[in-house]
Structure 1
Amino acid sequence: MRTRKQKIFLITKIVSIFFALVIAGLFVFRDAILQKAIVQITHKLDRDYNSSFSVKKANFIGISGVEMENVLLVPKKADTLFNIENLKTKINFWRLLTGTIQIEKLEAKNGFLQLVKNKNGRNFEAFLSKNKDTVDTGKKTNYAKLAYKLLNRALNLVPTDMHLENLSLRMNDMGKKATVRLNKLNLIDKNLESSILVQTNTFNQNWSIKGFADPRKKQTDIRFFNIDTGKIKVPYFDERYNIKASFDSIRFKVTNMDMDSGELHLDGFTSISNFTVNHPKIANKDVVIKNANFNYNLLFGENFIAIDSSSTVELNKIKFNPYVSYNNETDKIYTLKIDIPKMKAQDFITSLPDGLFTHFEGMEATGNFIYNLNFVFNKNKPNTIVFDSKLDKENLKITKYGEANLNKLNGEFIYRAIIKNVLQRPILVGQANPNYTPLNAISPYLRKSVLTTEDPSFFSHKGFITEAFRQSIVKNIRTKKFSRGGSTISMQLIKNAFLTREKTLSRKLEEILLVYILENNRIVSKERMLEVYFNIIEWGPNVYGIGEASQFYFEKTPDQLTLNECLFLATIIPSPRNFMYQFNSEGNLKSFAVNKEKYLKNIMMRRGIIIPDDTINQMPIYVSGRANSFIKTEVKDTIQIDSTSIEEFSF
């Protein structure tokens, strides 16, 4: 009888012979198998993607190497999508036996990938279509497994030995052209070096990628920079989306990628220097971040994707720990948490991106602060939004103002509105202006009406109404744009007195920060803020301040206004230049405008702001001032009416 060792040896020998025969069989028939595979690919691309695929020559090199010449992919009735003159690749044979394609070596030269969009359509359209045969099982995606699978597949396709020469990515989007040509790229002994030429309708540049890359150990450390003088410009986006972006260099590093207890951990570091971006929705000038670093720890779980709070972001001298996540275990929940540890206020001011906070340039401050933000948005239950913002101050004080000198609100100053980037006529905010009206000379009805419509808790809040701010965020997310919701009188005052009316991220962020400084440093009293507000806001076309407004509409002084007149003035604040559309051809308020004033009056009654006696003997408003000329009224033919009446009575 054979011993146990002899049996194991015999089994091992049989298995070895079996694999040897399989390998020999594959070696003998491999060229036929390769040609059959090409035929199958050709038929599939023709059937499923309406594209012609051809390979002029294809053969094996050694045991697991393949060489192909003139590989061509052309969608029918469209421009060529892919073409390569020569391609050599070597696959890990033993990995292939386990069903894994892992490329060991790749050589390619003289080829291009071309993406074209013109009046006839897109040459890559068929490849974007979803697979109609895919069945939706209703099972949720496991983000950890999916990400691990995709990353492994991608890294297996990155060879450990690579030589690329004269390969291009060409893009033509209705005449907006960009070409990224890889003159050469070599990956030898884990050292990566490349030379890249970028050509667009607006610029030409030479780029380089250098560094370390080990796809098998899932580690890399590469740097991306410009060989020529000047910054690297991002191609295509300037013409396509009107976004101009550039930077000095980018570094990207991956130190760890592993699966642990069902969670994928991806750790690394990335940095960018002198990043510059320009877009009308961001700011009206270049925004520059001199130095930005991101030590990231990414997590992928069964039901979530997250940037872990152990990650660190540095923007110049600002350093904080972010937590960002998306979780769909029950509802679709987005979370953002930011914790800025104790830092000097002056370091924060000097670290703000150039061009994004122009009104803070030159500002100086003393003291320290700690900041915490907790934001949670449930897409399935938007009204449950959480927005908690907390700032702990330590001897924080503004010692020098920048362009926005908030202290000017306490004295006499010149105000000039900016509408569509055009400066309007100057308005003197002070007693020397005959139209200037102190707060105590404004009808109490108007103060009560405006506070009710614009900011009921003005005298108790510190610049922001938390609940209104939350609802404003919900509305912004739904409409994908900035809305007026949540704007307090403090915010409107800052916007009018110091900022433009442009709808940019820069203006909104400046508004929030300036309001916080104004309200939390006791720079201006609430009464003075309200007085200035009444004297600078627009009440009609080229009508600024309540002194001008009361004359423009009713030929009165602000203290003579009736309740109904005050209700009318309060309701037109959101759109004062369109006041005339609230009137009919007879010069009376239309029904919707009357109902709007009744609604406001009822709110004020319920809140005890006015009493029933205030509404007694109130007449409908009559516009007698210059505003009457803006209202389209029809003049009745009184003679015709009289003659008709006479005829009727003659019977």
Structure 2
Amino acid sequence: MNFPKQKIYKALKILGIVILVLCIGLYYFRNSLLKQAIAKVTHKMAVQYNSNFSVEEASFDGLSTIHLTDVVLAPINADTLVKIKNVETSISLSNLLIGDVQVGTLKVDNGYIQLVKKGKKRNFDAFLKRDKEETESNEKRKYASFAYRIISKVLNLVPTDMDLKNFKFKIDDNGKQTTVDVDKLVLSDKQLETNLHVQAKDFDQRWNIKGFADPRNKKADIRFFNLDTGAIRVPYLDQRYNLKASFDSIRLNVQNIDKSGSELHIDGYTSIANLKINHPKIASKDVVIKNARFDYRFLLGDSFISIDSTSTMQLNKIKVRPYISYDTEKDTVYTLKVDIPKMKAQDFIVSLPDGLFKHFQGMQATGNFDYKLDFKFNKNKPNTLVFDSKLNKEDLRITKYGEADLNKLNGEFVYRAIIQNVLQRPVLVGNANPNYTPLDQISPYLRKCVLTTEDPSFFSHRGFINEAFKQSILKNIRTKKFSRGASTISMQLIKNVFLTREKTLSRKLEEILLVYILENNRIVSKERMLEVYFNIIEWGPNVYGIGEASHFYFQKSPADLNVDECLYLATIIPKPRKFMYQFNDQGNLKDYAIKNQKFLKNLMFRRGLLVPEDTTGILPVYISGNARSFIKIKVPDSTAVKNDSLAVDDEFDL
């Protein structure tokens, strides 16, 4: 269909006039529209967030530049959240007309944002609540669309040009205060630079942040440095979590944020130099990571969030390819896969963080290895948990030990337990100690009982039991705390002889690595390991080794212990210093202790470790040694008179 040129020209002319009228209308009524917009925001803050929002003065300069003075956002009955003296910003009217708010420039002078917590009340709690519409909706959230929408909105609010002066960011967590002063922050031509003055308790530093920032194209490459001498210390964490952290520099890079179809891709990397961490739950001293880098690819779909397997993590010379996924398509499934490609064993040892593996310092090794971990947990079907850990070695051999010389277990040595950071008395592990008991002189019943309670597959595993790890993980997930371990006798031996009882990440990681080296390099025979174990573990208050224990409880040698005595000794290993609470005031075992021993006995019957003849004629457990003095036994009153001792018969002869 053809239109005459005159009609087309006339239509364009009319359209131009309409646009001109709209522009003139916008220009003349822009301040009224601005006031209406502020009133709308004020109403929303009051109704949805129980907060007062106010602007002392608001006006346009031209079509897109807005001036605001004395902007305040204060939750009712709480400390002010935001207060800014002067704001000048520009917005894109063309994008605004289609509902896409993009901030062009931003100038802020003299203001602050503060997060305050008093008791359990926080001045920002109202803004953390989910929207009413979102709460009432039963529709499943699509992660990729939701994340991309939030990222786009946030980045659109980041101006392409920015100038901040005299701005503060303050945290007050029940008196734990941190202040970040922004003396000047400039973003111009996609180049960002700012100097920050950070203050907290016993803390005063000046930081420099600079780099490339392009919020419209969703790209950035930013670095953090310390303007003063020394490392950058991380504020607030020390006061709040007793975590001390510092680093020389950090680099944050975002290369790509792109949504293609139903998937969102976020690519980039982050690196850190000389990261130092100190926390009593991590290690007893500073942990230092000299160089670390994470090249990431986050993938989000309608029903999953993941770190893709193309991502790499590098810790000094150690490279790791992780895959982490959270999937809710059918069930809620958590997946973790770790792949350490083939690498030199010595490169692995020298790359371990200082302070986290102190017993490995000075260790030398030859050969190569690779490692794979496969973990999957279905929240709806917990019993289908997958836990598979494999280490493949190639001519791997320890040529020199560090602080933990595992060969020590093959000879005579002095053992000293550490309890609550207190070094206990020395115990000689060897024939020169009269209480030392060789394995063949320990009652076979006791060997069977202890192996049943502590490590039934001791003679067949190589330090770890995957099934035990699985059950431990399930128990910890169900209880939402670390309530159950999966410790084998090998692990207990390493912990007792070479490590401490401190509950730190460092101790657990060292324990795992040392056990693997001990078991998989056949440094010590299983029989020798079990013999040392029986002769060093604590069996009671200041009672070490089965030689001392058998006399302490029963005044007999380990070879002469009967079945029930062995059952008793096996059940007190987890809490030997509290053995006395298993007895009543008559010196007899309480019902729950008897039930525990019966359970163990029946278990051993089912496994063929005991036969009925083994328990024939056995009397109840009787503590006859020095242990009896620890039991609160009620002593009968010899002066007490029985109720009927002076009774007189109703009938008697005269």
> Do the two structures share a fold, i.e. TM-score over 0.5?
yes
Change (3 A) 1:519 1:649: farther
Match of 1:623 in 2: 623
Within-5 A mapping of 1:24-173: 24-119=24-119, 121-132=121-132, 134-173=134-173
Match of 2:557 in 1: 557
1: CA distance, partners of 2:459 / 2:193: 64
1: CA distance, partners of 2:8 / 2:473: 70
1: CA distance, partners of 2:589 / 2:7: 104
The answer for unaligned runs of 5 or more in structure 2 is none
SS in 1 for 2:225: strand
1: CA distance, partners of 2:55 / 2:132: 28
1:79 positional shift: 2.3
SS in 1 for 2:366: strand
Establish whether residue 271 from structure 1 lines up as the match of residue 271 from structure 2: yes
Match of 2:408 in 1: 408
Match of 1:176 in 2: 176
Within-5 A mapping of 1:180-195: 180-195=180-195
1: CA distance, partners of 2:479 / 2:405: 34
Within-5 A mapping of 1:477-492: 477-492=477-492
Change (3 A) 1:635 1:155: same
SS in 2 for 1:277: strand
**Deviation by residue 1:124-183 (Cα, 9 ceiling, x = unmatched):** 333334445654332211111011111111111111111111111111111111001111
2: CA distance, partners of 1:186 / 1:369: 49
Match of 1:647 in 2: 646
2: CA distance, partners of 1:477 / 1:173: 30
More moved, 233-242 vs 2-11: 2-11
Match of 1:500 in 2: 500
1:648 positional shift: 5.3
**Deviation by residue 1:242-284 (Cα, 9 ceiling, x = unmatched):** 1111111110111111111311111111101111111111111
**Deviation by residue 1:565-595 (Cα, 9 ceiling, x = unmatched):** 0000000111111111110110000111111
2: CA distance, partners of 1:116 / 1:511: 42
- Aligned residue type for 1:31: N
Match of 1:337 in 2: 337
1:491 positional shift: 0.8
Change (3 A) 1:8 1:367: farther
2: CA distance, partners of 1:2 / 1:259: 41
Identical amino acids, percent of aligned pairs: 63
2: CA distance, partners of 1:420 / 1:271: 38
1: CA distance, partners of 2:648 / 2:425: 58
CA contact (8 A) 1:359 1:510 kept: yes
TM-score by length of 2: 0.96
Match of 2:389 in 1: 389
1:404 positional shift: 1.0
SS in 2 for 1:377: strand
What RMSD, in angstroms, separates the aligned Cα atoms of the two structures?
1.7
The answer for unaligned runs of 5 or more in structure 1 is none
SS in 2 for 1:458: coil
CA contact (8 A) 2:475 2:484 kept: no
- Aligned residue type for 2:287: V
2: CA distance, partners of 1:6 / 1:524: 101
SS in 2 for 1:647: coil
2: CA distance, partners of 1:254 / 1:140: 29
1:371 positional shift: 0.9
2: CA distance, partners of 1:463 / 1:8: 86
Establish whether residue 546 from structure 1 lines up as the match of residue 546 from structure 2: yes
1:62 positional shift: 1.2
2: CA distance, partners of 1:203 / 1:118: 22
1:12 positional shift: 4.1
Within-5 A mapping of 1:474-623: 474-623=474-623
1:3 positional shift: 2.5
Change (3 A) 1:632 1:191: same
**Deviation by residue 1:592-642 (Cα, 9 ceiling, x = unmatched):** 11111111111111111011110100110110111101111111124435x
1:650 positional shift: 5.9
Match of 2:243 in 1: 243
1:49 positional shift: 3.2
TM-score by length of 1: 0.97
SS in 2 for 1:640: coil
More moved, 304-313 vs 526-535: 304-313
CA contact (8 A) 2:476 2:484 kept: no
Match of 1:425 in 2: 425
Within-5 A mapping of 1:294-373: 294-373=294-373
- Aligned residue type for 2:122: R
1: CA distance, partners of 2:607 / 2:527: 21
CA contact (8 A) 1:156 1:215 kept: yes
2: CA distance, partners of 1:4 / 1:630: 112
More moved, 602-611 vs 377-386: 377-386
Change (3 A) 1:649 1:579: farther
SS in 1 for 2:570: helix
SS in 2 for 1:228: coil
Change (3 A) 1:531 1:645: farther
2: CA distance, partners of 1:274 / 1:551: 54
More moved, 186-195 vs 10-19: 10-19
1:477 positional shift: 3.2
CA contact (8 A) 1:482 1:503 kept: no
SS in 1 for 2:251: strand
2: CA distance, partners of 1:589 / 1:26: 90
CA contact (8 A) 2:102 2:157 kept: yes
1: CA distance, partners of 2:133 / 2:647: 81
Change (3 A) 1:458 1:60: same
1: CA distance, partners of 2:146 / 2:121: 32
1:65 positional shift: 1.1
Change (3 A) 1:147 1:396: same
